Amino acid sequence: MVPLPKKEHPHRWSALAVLLVAEAMNLLDATIMTVAAPAIHADLGGPVADIQWYGAAYTLPFAVLLIAGGRLGDIAGRKRVFRIGVAGFVLASLACAFAPSAGLLIAARAVQGAAAALVIPQTIGLIRVMFDGDELARAMGSIGPVMGLAAVCGPVAGGVLTHAASWRAVFFVNVPLGIAVLLAAPLLREDRSARRPRLDLVGTVLVSGAVGLITYPLIQGADSGSYALTWGLGLALFAFHQSHRVRRERSPLVEPSLFGNRGFAAALLCSVLFFAVVSGLMLVVVVQLQLGPHIGVLAAGLTLLPWSCAMGISSWTAGRHLVPRHGARVMYAGLAALLTGVLGAIAAYATAPDTGYPWRLLPALAVCGAGQGLFAVPFFTTALHRVRPHETGSAAGLLNAVQQLGSTLGVALLGSVFFRGGAQDAFWAAAGLLVATAAAVTGMMDRAHVRGHSSQML
């Protein structure tokens, strides 16, 4: 049977809505959890490090399995893997909602993250098979606003649901959304790679173990020195394994040639550092409010609203006006704004009363959100602009995976600094990470790209 041309797919815009709901469901789950985590800890008990694990248990398997999830879509069909992932996500959400203990909740969160790693890599491929030309640009451009809306709604929904009902309600939200996506999934068109790669299970296990050895000692407060040698050995084995697969003409998990591109390697470092700051600080803000001055979960969730709203506004402004005119240099403006907000938050914490709501913190958080929006819009296209065509799929998957890894490490690192020294220490650590991010941004860009190619970035 000859497939229909893309323009003749009769329900492509409805199918796009299905994919966007699935994308938003993932981001909602992560941001809602940030607000609900302290309430979960108060109910289920356990060590305080569990607050970090409630988030990290999701983002860690999500990060390390993203590329493998993309490969599975190439092999078995993106629509099929998408549906399996959504079904697994719904079932894992139910397991989270009914979890009787912290340990079982953390285990269910890990299954959620693994299921999300099956869903998210398929969305871009499914959009590309349904649209082309100007319609493809419009379809791809719809992802940003939907993600911005999810980022705004997540903290508010987490606070409202936990305050009005229970922390368990934040997981029930995924059930009707997931069921709606499954019911509408027949609208999607099946797609798979003409040249099917083989799944690199050994590489997936090696990189998962290496990432786990980074995260565990940070969250648990263990002696990281005892893990350093094993972690380094794991990364070395992974690199050797990938090179070995290339020599034997087998599909690697990651294209080794990407690391010959200095700009892309710098982009990976930049992604880890930047998203570590953003995710780590959001956790610190809501946890400090609930454990310090004992602000309620609803007020704690609403505290992140200035950050989310400012991020949405600055993202639109950057994409519409600033990036077309100034190109990749807008990333420096974003980092400068985020650093200004971080320093403002440090000052607000220094003068905040021991009791009562810290109103002075809100303007600083808005500036942080504005900086995040200014940075994120040009980042991904700048990171990918020198990647060769045959490397694009691997590069995009790796960037998304590293972003999630950065979020996991940020929760682990800045959360640990907070629990040991307080919110000001965590924000000072974030300021140091932002300085390192600026150095990584410099390594990403060549002079020609800084001055031109702005139109190619949108």
How confident is residue 220, by pLDDT bands cut at 50, 70 and 90? low
The 10s digit of each residue's pLDDT in 87-137 is: 999 999 999 999 999 999 999 999 999 999 899 888 877 887 787 766 766
How confident is residue 148, by pLDDT bands cut at 50, 70 and 90? low
Note whether 69 and 81 are within 8 A (CB): yes
Tally: H helices and E strands in the chain? 19, 0
Query: Average pLDDT for residues 366-392, to the nearest whole number?
Result: 78
Which amino acid is located at 358 in the chain? Answer: P
Query: Average pLDDT for residues 342-360, to the nearest whole number?
Result: 84
CA distance 455 to 458: 6
pLDDT at 2: 40
pLDDT at 447 over 60: no
pLDDT at 24: 86
CA distance 31 to 154: 5
CA 400 to chain centroid: 7
The 10s digit of each residue's pLDDT in 85-96 is: 999 999 999 999
How confident is residue 323, by pLDDT bands cut at 50, 70 and 90? confident
Which amino acid is located at 284 in the chain? Answer: V
How confident is residue 30, by pLDDT bands cut at 50, 70 and 90? confident
CA distance 444 to 395: 14
Which amino acid is located at 41 in the chain? Answer: H
Buried b (16+ CB within 10 A) or exposed e, 264-302: bebbbbbbbbbbbbbbbbbbbbbbbbbbeeebebbebbb
How confident is residue 221, by pLDDT bands cut at 50, 70 and 90? low
Other beta carbons within 10 Å of 87: 18
The 10s digit of each residue's pLDDT in 201-216 is: 777 777 777 666 666 6
The 10s digit of each residue's pLDDT in 252-271 is: 767 677 776 677 888 888 98
pLDDT at 23 over 80: yes
CA distance 73 to 75: 5
